[in-house]
Chain A
Amino acid sequence: MKQKEYTISILTEDKPGLLNKITIIFNRRKINIASLNVSTTEVAGVSRYTLVVSLTPEEVKKIVKQIRKVVDVLGSFYYQENEVYYREIALYKFSVDMYKNNKELEQLIRNHGAKVMAIEGDQVVIEKTGSKQETHELYDALQPFDLMEFVRSGRIALSKSKRRTEAFIRELETSNSNALSIKEF
C-alpha cells in the first residue's frame, strides 16, 4: 500500500521520559519521524506531541495503538492533511549588507508573506510561517542571496474535530473504556 503523510497528535501527562517512550516506538520499526514538536496544552499538566510521519494507512493505525499503550499517554490520534490546521515556522538569516544592497530582497520577502523578525548588529533574520512547501519556496528564492543560516520548526497542528481537550480528559477520568482514544481497530 502507498505511504501518505500523517500528522500524529498525542496527548500525555507532563512527565519526564515520555518523549523517549514515544520515539522508541518509531525507532524500533525503523520509521523516520519527519518532524516532532512538544508543547503544553490549554489543560494544566497535559502535553501535546505532534509528529509528522509517512506511513501506509495500515501502519499508522498500528503505530497509534502502540503509542496509546504507553502508560501516561492520554490519547493518540492520526490525521490526514485535510483533517488538521497546521503550520510550521522558518527563520532565514542574512548579513545586513546583503539585505541593504539588494532592494529586490525586501520585495521578495513581502511577496512570500514573510517578515523581518530582527535586525541586530550585522545580521537580519526573516520569519515565515506556513506549510513546509511555502517555507521551502522562500528558501529556494533566498538561496542566491548568500543565506547564512536556515531553520524550520516541527509542525504544530490542531485537528478540525470539535473535541475539546478538557472534555476528553474528563471523560478519560470517569470512563473505564480505552476505546475512547482508539476509535477503530
Chain B
Amino acid sequence: MNTSTLEIEEKKVNKTEIIPGAEAVLKCLVEEGVDTIFGYPGGAIMPVYDSLYSYADKLNHILSRHEQGAIHAAQGYARASGKVGVCFATSGPGATNLITGITDAMIDSTPLVCITGQVASHLLGSDAFQETDIIGISMPVTKWNFQVTGAEEIPEAIAQAFYIAKSGRPGPVLIDITKDAQQKTLDFSYAPCKRVRSYHPYPELKDEPLRAAAKLINEAKKPYILFGQGVILSGAEGELKNFIEKTGIPAASTLLGLSAFSTKHPLYVGYTGMHGNYGPNVKTNECDVFIAIGMRFDDRVTGDVNTYAAQAKVIHIELDPAEINKNIKVDVAINGDAKQALQALTQLVNQNSHEDWVEEFHECDRIEMEKAIKKSIDPEGAQITMAEVVHKLSVFTKGKSLIVTDVGQHQMMASRYYKFDEYKSHITSGGLGTMGFCLPAAIGAKIGAPERQVIGIVGDGGFQMTLQELGLIMQYEVGVKILILNNEFLGMVRQWQQLFFDRRYSFTKMQNPDFIKLAASYNIPALQISDRSKLEDGFRSWLEPEGPGLLEIIVEKEENVFPMVPSGSCVSKIRLE
C-alpha cells in the first residue's frame, strides 16, 4: 500500500520487533482494542490460529459451528457493544460462508473487520485447493476490501480496515491475507489510521440547510419526525430526545431505529413501514413537514415512492450523501452526522407544541387498537398468538431487555409489540432480511453486552437455519435466552400465500424436530408451552435463572401480521385487517 495516502501517527514508545505476519495480525487487533474474535479455522489461516494459541490471555476466540454463525455473532456483538466485530475464516468455503453476513452488515451499516486466509501468493489465480477470489466476490458487499500478499503490509492494512469499518457510516471490511504473508516475518510497528485522503467520513455541516430546515420546522402546522438507525450509530439518542421535546413534534421510528427513543414517551407515535403502525403510515401522507433523521427511505418503509410524503416539504438529515435524493426527493438536505446536526438544529428551532396534531395520531392508535391490535394480543381462540407472547413478554420484562430477532412474522410481531424502554435494545436483520440471523446474533449480542438480558426471538424456520450455533451457548456458557415461536410454517411466506396467492401453501409447511430434546442435547434448559395459562410461569422459569434458556411456544398456525402495507403500494392504503 501507498503510505502517502495515510497520515501515520508516529509510534512513540515501542521499538520495532521482528515477528511473523500471523502474529502481527493479532498484535494489530490487540492495538485496536479488540478482545473478542468469532471464527473458524482451516488450512490457509492456520498460521494465524497457531499464533492465537499463545494469545489466549489477550484475545477471546469464539469457535462457531459454521462461518455464517461466526459472522452473525460478530454482527450481534458489534451492534450490542458499539465496537467493531471481528471475524476469522479460512480461504475458499470458509470465506464464501461469510458472504451472507457481510452483505447483511453492509446493508445494515454494521462495523466488521473480516480476516480471511488465502492460498500462498504464488498460487493465486491457479485454482489451487480452496482458492477463491474472495476479493472479487466481496467487492460489491464490503465498504472496503484489500488483499495482503506481503507480511510487511499487514499493520497498515489492518489499521485502515478498522478506521474505515467504524468511521462515518459503518460497514464491513474484508482483509484477505495469503498464507505466505502470514508466515514471513516483518519488522512490526503499529500506528492507528487517522485519515485516508480519498475517504471523508464526516461531512462538515453547512449553515444554510440548517437554517432552511429550522424555518420550515418553525412554520410547520403538522410536522412529523421519522428517525432511523443513524441516530443509534451516531449516539444521538439524547440529541433526538431534546429535539423532539423542544419542537413538540410527534416522532416515529423505522425498524432499525427502534429503541433509539423510548416507546413510552408521549411524543412517540409508533413505527413505520410495511407492518408498522397505522398512524405513522397514514400521517406520512398528511403532514406538512417531514423530518427524516438517519434513515434511508427503504422501500419497506416508503411503499410507493411517488405518493410517499408527496404533499410535504421533506428535510433529510443523513450522513451518507449517496442516500440523499436516492429514493425520495428532498427539499432540504442536511448532510452530516445525526448527533451534530440535531444539536445544531435544536438551537435554531422554537420551543413549540402540536397537541391537536399529536392527538390525530392517538386517534389512529385507537382505530388500530380496535381493528388490529386487540384481537392479536388478546385473541379469542384457544391457541396462543405470537403477538400475545411478545406483548406479555414486553410487560414481563418491562421493555428493558435487548431483543434480537430473526426474519418473518415473529420479527414483525416483536417490532410491533415489544415496548422498548431502554436505549439500543433491538437488533434485527433489517435490510437483507436474513433468516438464520437471530441465534448467532443473539449469542454475539450477549457476549458484547453481558450485563444485559438478551432475548432472541426466532421462528421455527429461521431457528433451523443456524441451530448448530447452540454449541456456542454450551461451550462458552453464554447466558442468552432463546424464544422459538413455533407455528410449523414459514409463517411470513404463508401469510403472503394466503393474501396474494389464493391460499396456495406451496412448500411452507414444516415438520420440525423436538426442539426441547435438541436443547437438552446441548445442555440448555428448555421448556415448551402451548397453554396460555402457563405463559407467565413459563417466562419466570425461563428468564429468572442466570444462564441460558430456551422457551418454545406453540402458537397459532395461521396468524397474520396486520396492519400491512402491501408491497409497493401507497402507505396510506395500509390494511388494518
Contact = CB atoms under 8 A, between A and B. Distances in A.
Contact of B203 (A62, A66, A177): A177
A157 interface: no
Interface in B321-366: 321-322, 324-326, 330, 333, 335
A71 B335 CA distance: 19
Interface stretch (B80-88, B135-143, B228-236, B531-539): B135-143
Interface in A132-185: 169, 172-173, 175-180, 182, 185
B139 A71 contact: no
Given A13-B198, A179-B335, A20 B139 contact: yes
A69 B198 contact: no
B322 A66 contact: yes
Interface in B1-40: 2, 4-5
Contacts of B140: 24, 28
A65 B206 CA distance: 19
B287 to A, nearest CB: 22
B164 interface: yes
A14 B144 CA distance: 16
Contacts of B2: 13-15, 45
A17 interface: yes
A68 B321 contact: yes
B204 A176 contact: yes
For this complex, into which size category does the number of interface residues on chain A fall?
20 to 34
B495 to A, nearest CB: 30
Contacts of B320: 69
B122 interface: no
A69 B200 CA distance: 9
Given A13-B2, A173-B197, A178-B321, A185 B136 contact: no
Given A66-B322, A69-B320, A176 B135 contact: no
B142 to A, nearest CB: 10
Nearest to A12: B198
Contacts of B396: none
Interface string A45-61: 10000000000000001
A178 B197 CA distance: 10
B322 A65 contact: yes
Contacts, number: 69
Contacts of A182: 321
B198 A185 contact: no
B202 interface: yes
Contacts of B500: none
B220 interface: no
Nearest to B204: A177
A71 B164 contact: yes
A13 B1 CA distance: 11
B139 A185 contact: no
A68 B322 contact: yes
A74 interface: yes
A28 B324 CA distance: 19
Interface string A5-31: 000000011110100110010001000
Contacts of B143: 71
A178 B333 contact: no
Interface in B158-215: 164, 196-200, 202-204, 206
Q: Which 9 A-B pairs have the closest CB atoms?
A: A178-B200, A65-B322, A177-B204, A71-B144, A185-B333, A185-B324, A74-B198, A173-B197, A72-B198
Interface of B: 2, 4-5, 135-136, 139-140, 143-144, 147, 164, 196-200, 202-204, 206, 320-322, 324-326, 330, 333, 335
Given A62-B322, A62-B326, 4 more contacts: A20-B136, A71-B164, A71-B199, A176-B203
